[in-house]
Each structure stands twice: as C-alpha cells, then as structure tokens.
C-alpha cells in the first residue's frame, strides 16, 4: 500500500466522521472477535468501524457511516467446536 493510498483512506474516514459532529451516542456494540465496532447515534446514523484483511492478509481499517433504517446489521454467528 502506498503512502498516497493511506492518506486518501484517512481523508475518507475523516470526511465520514465529520458528518457525526453534534450527535450523541445511543448504543455501542463490539463484536465478540473485536473486529467490528457499531455505534448508534441519536440522529439515526450508525458508525461501523471494522478491521478487515486484504487479499494478501494485511489488516485494513474500514469506517462506514449510514442511516440505520437502510441497513440491517443482524448477524447470525455459528461456532463449530471441531469435527464430528
């Protein structure tokens, strides 16, 4: 990843976070594996911060802001305890 790409990603994240000024936090949920943080705000927006792996295995911070009514974040988590 080049430095220009890193700066571009940081600018995108900063622009997303700027939309949240003046809002209060209503709820915070951390996924069990600690790779995702979901913050619900009073204006109906949701901030989703995730750590994702690129194709080559390098970690990448992903930040999204969206209206809560447009996306359903309900997840089904299934754990396998080994082979039968």
- Count the alpha carbons within 13 Å of 65 in the hemisphere toward its beta carbon: 15
Dihedral angle at the C-alpha atoms of 11, 21, 35, 74, nearest 10 degrees? -120
The model's pLDDT over 35-74, given as tens digits with 9 standing for 90+, comes to 899 999 988 888 899 988 888 878 888 888 888 665 555 6
The model's pLDDT over 75-84, given as tens digits with 9 standing for 90+, comes to 556 666 765 5
In the chain, where the domains are located: 3-70
Buried/exposed code over 38-74 (b: 16+ C-beta within 10 A; e: otherwise): bbbbeeebbbbbeeeeeeeeeeeeebebeebeeeeee
pTM given for the model: 0.63
12-16, 27-31, 43-47, 76-80: the lowest-pLDDT one: 76-80
């Amino acid at each position: 990843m080049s430095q220009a790409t890193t700066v571009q990603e940081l600018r995108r994240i900063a622009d997303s976070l700027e939309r949240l000024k003046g809002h209060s936090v209503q709820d915070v949920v951390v996924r069990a594996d600690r790779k995702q943080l979901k913050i619900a705000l009073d204006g109906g927006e949701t901030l989703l911060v995730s750590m994702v792996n690129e194709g080559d295995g390098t970690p990448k911070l992903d930040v999204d802001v969206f209206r809560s009514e447009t996306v359903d974040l309900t997840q089904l988590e299934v754990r396998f305890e080994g082979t039968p």
